[in-house]
Structure 1
Amino acid sequence: MRGLLASSVGVTCAAALALSLTSPAVAARPVSPAAERPAGAEAPGSTQSLPLAPLASRDFTLAPADEQGLPRRDVRHFSLAGVIWDDPDTELHGRVQIRTRAAGTGTWSGWQDLEAHNDDIADPGTAERISGRVHGATAPLWVGDSDGVEVRVRAEADHRAEGMARGSRTVTTTAPLPAGLRLELVDPGESAPASTRREAAAAGAPHRAVARSAPTPEPAEDPATMDTSAPTAEPPEDPAAMDASAANAGLAAPGAIEIPALDRQQTEQELFALRAGELTERQRAKPYIGARPRIVTRRGWGADEGLRERRFVYTKKVKAAFVHHTASGNGYRCTQVPSLIRGIYRYHVKSMGWRDIGYNFLVDKCGNIYEGRAGGVAKAVLGAHTLGFNTNSMGIAVVGSYGSKKPPAAATTAVARLAAWKLGLYGANPKGKTYLKSGGGNRYPKGKKVRLNVISGHRDGFATECPGRKLYRKLGSTRTTAARLQGR
């Protein structure tokens, strides 16, 4: 998400579900981030972290330190890549490019750009931001199963004229590249229900876990590629997974791979149960809420709950939804999205140093909706998606890059359906305006009360191109659709 201006840049029971909808900022279960994994449980995924070094530049106006990279080399299998650096408050002014070799074919890709300005981040002063683990980073790029890589990072040259009165001369300057540049190569791993692993072990046969995808959604952009399998839900095996599942108590059975869709009447009944005693007589007579859409749970996309911090953090309510794109490219199949999300999750936590994946929800180009940061899909979970405006908001990321590519109708419709339901839980009108207090960022100073659309783009709260020009243009119709789904 390339910045337009300089920037400084997830419970326990069904009763707790209703209470947390209105609870103030709370941190629960402060235990070790890395929960001990039961014997025999699979820990999928890995990250290769490779330091970059100066490259010999063909541009003699650049110093050696102004171009860094990694020559073409063989590496272990990976599917997602990004570049990180030491200081999260330091911007990378320049171009980051990567080329990869497809595993099995030996074919090298052309050079692909990584979005140098990744502006999804926790608010200043929060425990997540000041943990000492956070790094600056590009957006991650999905490249598919690869076993070779080459990368180059080049400082942005500023060519300007000086001495106009006595004949101009061109002066070239560059901002130094950030310290500690490293290439992060992420293998998202594979996931399979525990019974599959136990059966394979009992049979004494070698077992390679198979990534499980969610059932086919409603209208999909490319139905021929969709996986129609329906894995059987199983109870989670470790405490962290049990916590993540329990956060959705009352919405789905323990260990469920999805939270099923409800019709409008069922959704209204759920609203009355969740917010009993809070609704006015008018709201009880005419509740404005969209039918709950189907949501793939963290178990459904195969989250390794041992990666994230164990505790969940909440804010008071959800007053606004910020729409993003992941800037991870559009070259994915919808059957690959669980793997892609596992890759983003690992990149956010292991490479960037966040407590969990930053987004509250993700939506793919086929219209599938995925639970993001742990803590319960109906709750006001504090995310790390819009610097300065994470409190009392939610982040919805459309998987892909939508600066020059038009987002599929299935994706924008899914965003509207999700927003109509989640905003409806908190009485927010998708076509309305709301005030949020800035926590500090490059567009609004800390403490300023800002009037925003209830459904806003990332760029409305932060100087960035996110969610991409083409997706941003769809937000008007998204607001209208979400309001109509609420019955407004």
Structure 2
Amino acid sequence: MVWGMRKCTVFLSPALYSILSPPHLCEIVRTGTRTAPSSRHNAAAQGIQCCHLAGVFSGICGGGEVMELQDTEQQNSVSLEIIPRHEWGARAPTSQTALNMPVTYLVIHHSAGSRCFTPLESGKALRGIQNFHMDTRGWWDIGYSFLISEDGNLYEGRGWDTEGAHTLHYNKDSYGVCFLGSFTDETPRSAALQKVEILIRTGISRGHLRPDYILKGHRDLGDTECPGEALYEHIQTLPHFQP
């Protein structure tokens, strides 16, 4: 998302962009917020004028904000919000090692703890995981690259640039994404599952993840039940999965 002169550009994947074609306008950006999908009639009622020219939607909102929705192969991602470490109360790492990007693997984990449905629950779980990794296991920081809660929030762990500690022998060439909760009997909610797919597309478009990346469950690379049977069954249906 690029802001300037009260103008915002949102880049969408081709699949999502097709949803936005007339007669529907799916996203209305007003100072960083989104509305629910609405018909063109409802959008007009909100003071929005829409046009469809050369693959670009432009909307002029009541407050004067200008929005553009653009489909491009070079920016094949929806704007992704990652909640930074300071917002969940992370401790500073004791050391760091840079990743050599783009990496090859994206490894799915679960925390095997309580499922988190609110930011308050997630923050408590994240701090607990970090304390366990640092104080009990003796690691430099929380081990995962990113963590996802049931409400679809995506939290920064070690992030894009730093080597994780989540999958033995693969940390130097992978990102570890952990779903907060135990997912042996049921999968995470759809908001959480959709977020990891957006994360993957964003990683590719920004050069962090190889376009021919390989998706794995933690159990594929180690002696563990992680990420739980139900979640593991789901990720086998996703593109680029290899057992």
| Common fold by TM > 0.5 | yes
Within a 5 Å distance, the mapping from 1:246-395 to structure 2 comes to 286-287=73-74, 289-305=76-92, 308-309=93-94, 311-317=95-101, 318-330=103-115, 333-373=118-158, 377-379=159-161, 381-395=162-176
User: Which of 405, 415, 418 pairs up with 2:199?
Assistant: 418
Matched, 1:470 2:230: yes
Q: Which amino acid aligns with 2:98?
A: Y
Q: Which amino acid aligns with 1:291?
A: V
Q: 1:351 deviation in Å?
A: 1.7
Structure 1 stretches of 4+ with a deviation exceeding 6 A read: 216-219
Query: Which residue matches 2:217?
Result: 457
Q: 1:333 deviation in Å?
A: 4.3
Q: 1:335 deviation in Å?
A: 2.9
- Separation (CA, whole Å) in 2 of partners of 1:392 and 1:335: 32
- Separation (CA, whole Å) in 2 of partners of 1:313 and 1:387: 15
User: Which of 400, 403, 422 pairs up with 2:181?
Assistant: 400
- Separation (CA, whole Å) in 1 of partners of 2:140 and 2:88: 18
- Separation (CA, whole Å) in 2 of partners of 1:383 and 1:264: 34
Q: Which amino acid aligns with 1:413?
A: Q
Specify every segment of 5 or more residues in structure 1 that has no aligned partner in the other structure, as ranges.
Answer: 1-215, 220-262, 269-285, 435-453, 481-488
Q: 1:461 deviation in Å?
A: 1.4
Shift of the 292–422 alpha-carbon distance from structure 1 to 2, 3 Å rule, reads farther
Over residues 241-294 of structure 1, what are the superposed CA-to-partner deviations in whole Å (9 max), with x where a residue is unaligned? Answer: xxxxxxxxxxxxxxxxxxxxxx9869x8xxxxxxxxxxxxxxxxx426323411
Query: Which residue matches 1:44?
Result: none
Q: Which amino acid aligns with 1:475?
A: I
The question of whether the paired residues in 2 share the 8 Å contact of 1:264 and 1:292 is answered with no
Matched, 1:428 2:210: yes
- Separation (CA, whole Å) in 2 of partners of 1:217 and 1:343: 32
The question of whether the paired residues in 2 share the 8 Å contact of 1:264 and 1:291 is answered with no
Q: Which amino acid aligns with 2:235?
A: L
Normalising to structure 2: TM-score of the pair?
Answer: 0.64
Shift of the 406–422 alpha-carbon distance from structure 1 to 2, 3 Å rule, reads same
* Partner SS state of residue 322, structure 1: strand
The question of whether the paired residues in 1 share the 8 Å contact of 2:146 and 2:154 is answered with yes
Q: 1:479 deviation in Å?
A: 2.9
The question of whether the paired residues in 2 share the 8 Å contact of 1:385 and 1:395 is answered with yes
Specify every segment of 5 or more residues in structure 2 that has no aligned partner in the other structure, as ranges.
Answer: 1-32, 37-67
Normalising to structure 1: TM-score of the pair?
Answer: 0.33
Within a 5 Å distance, the mapping from 1:80-159 to structure 2 comes to none
Q: 1:332 deviation in Å?
A: 5.9
The question of whether the paired residues in 2 share the 8 Å contact of 1:365 and 1:399 is answered with yes
Over residues 395-430 of structure 1, what are the superposed CA-to-partner deviations in whole Å (9 max), with x where a residue is unaligned? Answer: 00000000112221111111111111113323623x
Q: 1:316 deviation in Å?
A: 1.2
State, as a whole percentage, how many aligned pairs show the same letter.
31
- Separation (CA, whole Å) in 2 of partners of 1:299 and 1:218: 27
The question of whether the paired residues in 2 share the 8 Å contact of 1:322 and 1:396 is answered with yes
Higher Rg of the two aligned structures: 1
* Partner SS state of residue 418, structure 1: helix
Query: Which residue matches 1:60?
Result: none
- Separation (CA, whole Å) in 1 of partners of 2:174 and 2:183: 22
Q: Which amino acid aligns with 1:459?
A: R
* Partner SS state of residue 239, structure 2: helix
The question of whether the paired residues in 2 share the 8 Å contact of 1:412 and 1:474 is answered with no
Shift of the 355–265 alpha-carbon distance from structure 1 to 2, 3 Å rule, reads farther
The question of whether the paired residues in 1 share the 8 Å contact of 2:117 and 2:149 is answered with no
Q: 1:298 deviation in Å?
A: 0.3
Q: Which amino acid aligns with 1:312?
A: Q
Tell me how many residue pairs correspond in the alignment. 175
Shift of the 405–334 alpha-carbon distance from structure 1 to 2, 3 Å rule, reads farther
